[in-house]
Structure formats: C-alpha cells, structure tokens
Structure 1
Amino acid sequence: MGQRVGSDDATWGALDRVVTEVQATRAAIAQLQAAEVRLLTDAAEIVRAREQSRRAAGRKSPHDLPLREISAELGAAMRLSDRAVQARMSAASTLRESFAATFAALADGRIDLAHASAIVDAGAVIADAGMREQYERIVLDAAGFETPHRLRAIARVVAGRIDPDLAEELRRRAAGQRRIRVVDLDDGMSRLLADLPAVLAHAIYDRLTRMAETERDAERAQADAAATAAESAAAAAESEAAAAEETGEPESPADVGGPDDVTDATDTANLTEPAPADRSFVAPPDSPALTTGPQRDERSLDELRADLFADIILTGAPTGHGDGDTLAAIRAEVQITIPVLTAAGASNEPALLAGYGPIDRDTACVLAAAAPGWDRVMYHPHSGLPLTVDRYRPTAALRRFLRARDERCRFPGCPHRPTRSDIDHTIDRALGGETADDNLAHLCRRHHTLKHATTWRVRQTGNGTLEWTSPAQRRYPDKPLSTVQFVPSRVFDRLLSAPYDGEAPF
C-alpha cells in the first residue's frame, strides 16, 4: 500500500485525494467481505447443528440434506445456485477456522478477498498448525505490497519450502491428471486447453513467443525494405522527370510523339484533370491495383503464437511462416533454481521455476544436466538475498546476478520476465550512476518508459529493494522475490550449527 509523502501541486494533490479515497473504499469492501465470510461460517455452524439434530432424531435421510436446504435458502437470497453457496461456505470455513491471521487481516481491511484466497489455496494442504502459522506470517508480509496474482506464486513457493514432502506428493498426483480438452466457443472458434507439468507449459509458451517475435521482426524488416525501395524508386523517377523538364528532353522514348500522335489542348487537359470528389467507386487501400509492395503483417503476438502452434501441431514444423528452418531452430528457455543440497540428494527443498513456483526435483536435475551452462547463486542464509553469482562457463556475471535477483520487471505488480525486460540504471549513467547491482534493475519496456517519460521516480534502498514514488508523491516498495519467498532451510541451519570437521558438506 502506498505511503503518502506530501505534494503541493494541485493536479497531483487531486490525484492523492482520489488514491486516498480508493484505498479507504477498498478497505471498506474488504471489511464487508470479511463480514460475509463470518456469516457464511455461521451458516455452516447451523448446518452442523441441523445434522446433529437429525441424527439425534434417528432420521436416515441423505446425510447432506441439511446442507442442501440451508444453501438453497442462502442461494435464493443471494441470487446464486445452491452449489455455488456451498463452495463459498466451505471456503469461508477454511479461511476463518484454519487461517485466523489471514482472516484478521481481511477484517482489518489490510488485504482483500483475492489476497486471502491466494493464501488459503496454496496453504490449505499444510496440516501442521505451527507450519501453517509460519506460512501465514511470511505470505501476509508479502500481501502488503504484492498483487493477488504474484502473491499466489509466492505462496506456492513458501508452502513448498515449508512442507516439501507434501508438496512433492501433490505434484506427483497432479502430474497424473495431464489432459487435453476442447471447449467450443462462438463465431467459429474453439479453445484448446492442455493441463501439463509447469515446466513444459512454460517452455512451450516461451518457444512460441520467441518464434512469434522472430517472425514479426522478419515481416517488419521485409515490409520496411520494400517500402524503402519503393520510396527510392519514386524519388529517382521524380529526379529524372525534373531533369528532363529543365532540359526540354522527353522523359523516355515512349514520350516522343510520332506522326499519328495528335492531341489537342482540350484532350490533354481532360487527361490530367483530377477525378471528381464524389466518384462512386474508390479502390480499397489493399486493392492489388494500389499495392506497391509487400504488406506489413499486422498480426498481434497472440495471433502469431496461435498460428505457429497450429502449424507445429498439425505439420510438425512452422511450415506456413517465413523461414521455417530459422523458426524451427529456436529453442525454449526457462529459468530453474535448484538448491545445491537438493541437486546432491541431501535435501528435499523444492526446485523453483521462475514465474511459477516449485517443481519436482527429478525434472529440475534433468534440465540442469542437459543445460549448456548453469549459474551458481550464493544466497544469504537468513535473508534469502542473492550474494554472488558465478558460472562454470563464464558469461556476463552482472547480468546473471540481476536475473537471479529480480526474476521479473521490478515495477510493483508487473509480471514480465527478465528475458523480456531492459536492464535499467536507477540513476542514469549520464548523471554519474554506476553500472553495479545496487544501481541496476530489470524494467519491462512499458515501465522503463514510465520511469523516464513521466513524473514517476525510483530509488534503491538496499538489499535489492526498489522504492517507487508516484506523481501523487506516494511511495511503493518492491522487494526481490527471493527475499519475499525465503524460508530458512532446516538442513542448511543444521549444517551451520554442526562443528566443522574439515570436510565440505557437499
């Protein structure tokens, strides 16, 4: 939540007032959402009391009949189906009874229902009450400045680190539910849905995106080259015509009149007269008669991804797009973080897929073994902040460090990955800013432009944290995901506390 630091400008003062009222309104909505949660759990208590009453009376009707009759009553009042009400009652009971701290934050207006749902969905599988409290403490801290979407990813990571055995078992079960579905839509469209392991899904999307960007850039370059050639030809023709006019010479042999070429002044004037403004037919801009060169491909990246996907699935290669060999050579890129003790088989702490969360150890190790190079990242054992990055096959160390630290665009709420972002100097290089990790951060093109072309400002406050100041002079922190998701490793703590015997632990 933004912290106001004051503004004297009338425009930004008006914006500050709007932001203040929006925050107050959202807090009031959250408090009402908590009130509804409380009422739905009260309804669940009535269901349980009703069930006990029926059992005491010896009635052998369907066991869920009390739930049906009460959810039907609420559904009629709320204009919802009784099944939708049952689902809400179940979620409300879980939130209020198993996640007391989260419910308290909702009731205070510090988070909204979307944040609370993200916390409950990822943490509901943690059975141990102590572990669940630790999980809540970490994710509620992140909920203070993260969007619900990003909080959901953070919550998955924290839950996987707090109870890695359970997380691994759930991943194994989920992998057994892989499937492909088709959902028919309107207007001749259908939706193809694939439930796949996260690594495969993200890799497919990344490869399609890379191919789509390559195809788009090639199409634009071809269209620009054709336009440039047409402009050059037109300019050359104009120059020749001007030169011919100055010397009185005909422009070309075809312009030289013979004995039969007799035209009076009236005919010449009619030939050169512009067409009437109200003529009944106008050729469309894309008419073949008016086309001067290859037309620019105006498909969006989404459209290109979809077309390439269909090509590859149906023909085995992107045969319908440009240089198929070039596109086929493009490979997917995903960023995986594997704890060294997990890779060595000494720990069950999960590996992490950037932009998603925990993945299974076997997949991570296979990817690491097949990678042409991999980074070794040293994290602080108590803060989770990356300390150093080195590589067994050297490249640009600073870029690797920033990619490991940031994992995304560093504007609050932005999910864009580092591979699709710029590395920006927080203090401009031209103004004396150093090219160092404490003055660099990834920004997507949209927020990079926002930083330089608007009154938004940013500074680094240490430990990789960025503090953004809005036009209304409110401050918004953005912390590295590694620190937000960090859970002290019990295995690592044990190694630190053990007496050193001269042997490396791995």
Structure 2
Amino acid sequence: MNGMANATDAEMASLDGLVSSLRAVEQTLQGMLAARDGMLALANRLALTIAERGDGVDASDITLRSVAAELASALRVSDRTMQRRMLAAEIVVERFPEVWQAQAAGRITAGHARVIVDAGAYIDDAAARAAYSARVLEFAEDESPNRVRMIAERVAQQYQARSLEERHEDARGNRGTWVTDHPDAMSELHVFGPSVLIHGAHDRLTQMAKALAPKRGSAASESAASESAAGHDGADRRTLSQRRLDLAMDLLLTGRPAGHDTADGLLSAIVAQVAVTVPVLTLLGQDGPAAEIDGRAPIDAATAQLLADASTGWDRVLTHPIDGRVLAVDRYRPSQALRRKLRGRDQRCRFPGCGMPVRTGDLDHTVDAAWGGATSEDNLEALCRRHHVLKHQTPWHVQQLDDGLLEWTSPTGRTYIDRPPPPNTVVFTAADEASADVGIGRPPFG
C-alpha cells in the first residue's frame, strides 16, 4: 500500500502547513523578482539617458556596457548576462506593465510573465499589447506556464499587424543548427526550424526507439547498437531517451538507421506523424485561427493545406458555434468514436498544470470500471502515465463535473478545477447573428 494512505493526521497537518507556507513564500519571491526587474529597467533607462548627453542613443552600446558592468560586478555575474537582463526587464516593465504588475502582486510567476511577453513580443501597438495582456492574464492566474504558452500564442495572433504566414517566412530565414559544448566530452546539438518539421522528426525518433525496445520478459534484442549499451546477457539497457539519441546520430551520420534497423527494414518504413488541427475556414483560405500542431505550436496555413492534401484521413471535430465546446469527433468511416471525441476534448493530460499531449497518455475511468464505472464520456479523462499512476496509488482523487470539468482533491484536502483547453475553432456571439450571411464568426478568445 502506498505510504500516503497510512500517513498520520499530524503528518497530513504538517504537509498542509508546508503547502500554505510555500504558497506565501512563492508570492513574496515573485514580488521580489518583479522589484528586481523594475530596478534593472531603471538602470537600462538611466544608461540611455546618459548616452543621450554623449554621442546619442545610436552610439549608446558602450554606455550600456559600462552600466551593465557596474551592476554585474556588484552582483558577481558577467556584464553580458547583466545587459541581457536589463533589456529583458525593460521590455516587460515598459511594454507589458500589466504583466509586470501581476507578477509583483504574486498573481503570476516569472515563468508566466516570460511566456506572455515572448508570445506578444511582436505586437507593436501599445493599446493592442494592453488588450492582449489583459486577456492572457485572466487565463494565466489559474494555469501553469506551459499551458499559458499555447493560449498566449493563439491570442497574440489576433493582435499581430502582420500575418503568421509573413512572420513564418521571415523566421524560416533563421533556421539552422548549432552546438553547445558541455563538460565530460559531451555536446548538445540544437536544431532550429519550422515546427512541423521538428515535431515530425522527434515523433519518428520516438516511434523507432519504442519499436526497438525489447518487450518486458522477452529475449534480448539482437540489434543492440553496441556492447556498452547492453548487459552481460545481451539485453538492451538503454532508456527511451538514450535510444532516441543513438538513433538520431545513426540517421544523421549514415542517412538511415543502419546500426538499429531490422533485416526487412522495419524501422526505415516508419514515417513521422504530426497531429494538426485546422479550422475549416482557414483550410478554405479565409481568415480564421491559425492551424496548430498537437495544441502546442501554430503553423502557417500553407503548410497546413499541404499536409491536408497529402493526408489519407482526417478526424472531423464538430464544435458548438457559440462557446466552442467539442460536440463530436468522427470520420467518414467511423471507428473508436468515443476515444477520438475524448482526445478532441481533452487535448492534453487533465491533471492540474500538466501539458503532456493526449496521444502520449491513457484514457482513464474516473470511477474505476471494477467498481461499476461506465465507459462513457462523463466517466473518462485523458491522463499521462505519471498522473495516471498518481491517481491510483496516492490519496489524490478526482470526480467529473458538468461540461468536462474535473475536480481534483489533494491529500491535504485542497481542491483544484481542471478545465478542458479551449478548442482551436471559430465561435459566434449574438452580435454576429446580424452578419450571419457572411459566415465568419470570431475566434474563441474574441
């Protein structure tokens, strides 16, 4: 039995006190970090003011370096690091004051502030930035930074002066690879490029690594890459991450997984899979929300249309035209309809704060089937393996409310509501009915 189930009342009271104390400390810490950003922004502004009395702002770099070096020496960091911090602080304080103030009040963390600022960095109009910040902050106060990132990027699209296609075309010019060296003769390879290519490459590596792993209790794999990866019995001891890296190097250095593939080329036959959500108006070339990869990253309409042309099948997600709720998911040749509907509704793990995509996890019965729980929409939720185990082996428990809401109760008795992520779709309001003949509504965050 899990140890948490046997915890004494005194131990649970101690845990409850620690949770409360940690929340208070975190709020104070975030306020102090915001105060530090305010002082760094003042230092950056002071450096620019000093520069204006010299050779002007255009030649201000040496002044900025000098001020940064002064601060860096006092705080024992490099002046390059300090200069980056000063610039980042001025951006959040001057361009996103609402976000800065929310962090100062402890309503959000520095992680939330970073993803909100990054997503809205190219919104030039001050009024548009303020409107964008207000909408994302409303969501950010109840969710983790990794969930906020996708919502922030989605909302930011509505305030961008240039289209995603235009910005994507410019960004493609920065694609490339580079290496960062680490101790112990290790290095890190960075690959920067279009999201659809990077996610597709990672998915294919993952599929290969899983296919290569010997099943539990089976004979040792004969295709182990090297003796260093295998035990004395020949079994492959590598983790999934290690196999994925070995395969990536094999592919990059040889052009195919020659060191891992089977005699009949099973791994070579695996192709990358990318789950893409495309609003039908966008697919038809009209204005609408951007297409998305697994609810994680936007992609340009041209790439989405190219994938649509090459796809052998599509899941159709039917959403409510007013509030955007997922009503049904089907195909022209229906199969596993309930599973597809739940994946369309949940999109990611439904444990509070988790952002793992639904396709990597499990569909779990809220009330166990062994206890009479039905295999139905209102008794199933998507959980990643980590939180699936947590639900069954610790005092954490969950119940379903209406409209797909989950109420989680922690071991200390605290409750947290997890909501299905807003679907990437078009919804309509009563105000839109007057122009219904146009056939175009507003995005779900309009």
> TM over 0.5: same fold?
yes
Amino acid at match of 1:311: D
Q: Does 1:497 align with 2:434?
A: yes
Amino acid at match of 1:14: S
Matched residue, 1:346 = 286
Give the C-alpha shift of residue 496 in structure 1: 4.2
Distance in 1 (alpha carbons) for counterparts of 2:45 and 2:179: 40
Matched residue, 1:191 = 188
Q: 1:91 to 1:446 in 2, by over 3 A?
A: same
Q: 1:504 to 1:135 in 2, by over 3 A?
A: closer
Structure 1 window deviating more from structure 2 (341-350 vs 460-469): it is 460-469
Matched residue, 1:362 = 302
Structure 1: gaps (5+ residues)? 1-6, 226-285
Matched residue, 1:299 = 238
Distance in 1 (alpha carbons) for counterparts of 2:346 and 2:57: 59
1:382-423 Cα distance to aligned partner (Å, 9 max, x none):
433322222223221111111122222111232322222110
Q: Does 1:80 align with 2:20?
A: no
DSSP 3-state at the match of 1:482: coil
Give the C-alpha shift of residue 437 in structure 1: 2.1
Matched residue, 1:29 = 29
Distance in 2 (alpha carbons) for counterparts of 1:380 and 1:8: 48
Alignment map for 1:259-408 (pairs within 5 Å):
294-321=233-260, 323=262, 325-408=265-348
Amino acid at match of 2:188: R
Alignment map for 1:463-478 (pairs within 5 Å):
463-478=403-418
Matched residue, 1:71 = 68
Distance in 2 (alpha carbons) for counterparts of 1:61 and 1:341: 45
Distance in 1 (alpha carbons) for counterparts of 2:64 and 2:221: 66
Residue of 433, 436, 454 corresponding to 2:373: 433
Does the 8 Å contact 1:161/1:350 carry over to 2? no
Does the 8 Å contact 2:362/2:384 carry over to 1? yes
DSSP 3-state at the match of 1:124: coil
Matched residue, 2:226 = none
Structure 1 window deviating more from structure 2 (178-187 vs 340-349): it is 178-187
DSSP 3-state at the match of 2:213: helix
Distance in 2 (alpha carbons) for counterparts of 1:356 and 1:297: 33
Structure 2: gaps (5+ residues)? 1-6, 223-229, 442-446
Amino acid at match of 1:206: D
Q: 1:363 to 1:495 in 2, by over 3 A?
A: farther
Larger RCO (CA within 8 A; separation ≥ 6): 1
Distance in 1 (alpha carbons) for counterparts of 2:134 and 2:57: 44
1:445-499 Cα distance to aligned partner (Å, 9 max, x none):
221111112100112223322221110111222222226xx69669x98864325
Aligned CA RMSD, in angstroms, stands at 3.0
Is the radius of gyration larger for structure 1 or structure 2? 1
Structure 1 window deviating more from structure 2 (23-32 vs 117-126): it is 117-126
Residue of 78, 102, 106 corresponding to 1:105: 102
Distance in 1 (alpha carbons) for counterparts of 2:431 and 2:238: 55
Does the 8 Å contact 2:279/2:425 carry over to 1? no
Does the 8 Å contact 2:51/2:59 carry over to 1? no
Distance in 2 (alpha carbons) for counterparts of 1:50 and 1:343: 53
Q: 1:83 to 1:60 in 2, by over 3 A?
A: closer
Matched residue, 1:236 = none
Distance in 2 (alpha carbons) for counterparts of 1:349 and 1:496: 20
Does the 8 Å contact 1:352/1:359 carry over to 2? yes
Distance in 1 (alpha carbons) for counterparts of 2:183 and 2:41: 39
Alignment map for 1:6-25 (pairs within 5 Å):
9-25=9-25
Structure 1 window deviating more from structure 2 (194-203 vs 312-321): it is 312-321
Q: 1:201 to 1:332 in 2, by over 3 A?
A: same
1:188-237 Cα distance to aligned partner (Å, 9 max, x none):
43332221211111111111111111110358522399xxxxxxxxxxxx
Give the C-alpha shift of residue 333 in structure 1: 1.7
Distance in 2 (alpha carbons) for counterparts of 1:137 and 1:161: 14
Structure 1 window deviating more from structure 2 (79-88 vs 359-368): it is 79-88
Give the % identical residues. Answer: 42
1:122-147 Cα distance to aligned partner (Å, 9 max, x none):
11211233432332233223322332
Give the C-alpha shift of residue 426 in structure 1: 1.1
Give the C-alpha shift of residue 162 in structure 1: 4.2
- How many residue pairs match? The answer is 427
DSSP 3-state at the match of 1:331: coil
Task: Give the TM-score of the pair, scaled to structure 2.
Answer: 0.86
Give the C-alpha shift of residue 299 in structure 1: 0.6
Give the C-alpha shift of residue 380 in structure 1: 3.1
Amino acid at match of 2:186: M
Does the 8 Å contact 1:439/1:460 carry over to 2? yes
Task: Give the TM-score of the pair, scaled to structure 1.
Answer: 0.77
Q: Does 1:480 align with 2:420?
A: yes
1:107-160 Cα distance to aligned partner (Å, 9 max, x none):
111112121111111112112334323322332233223322332233222212
Distance in 2 (alpha carbons) for counterparts of 1:24 and 1:341: 46
Residue of 196, 200, 206 corresponding to 1:209: 206
Give the C-alpha shift of residue 165 in structure 1: 3.6
Does the 8 Å contact 1:119/1:152 carry over to 2? yes
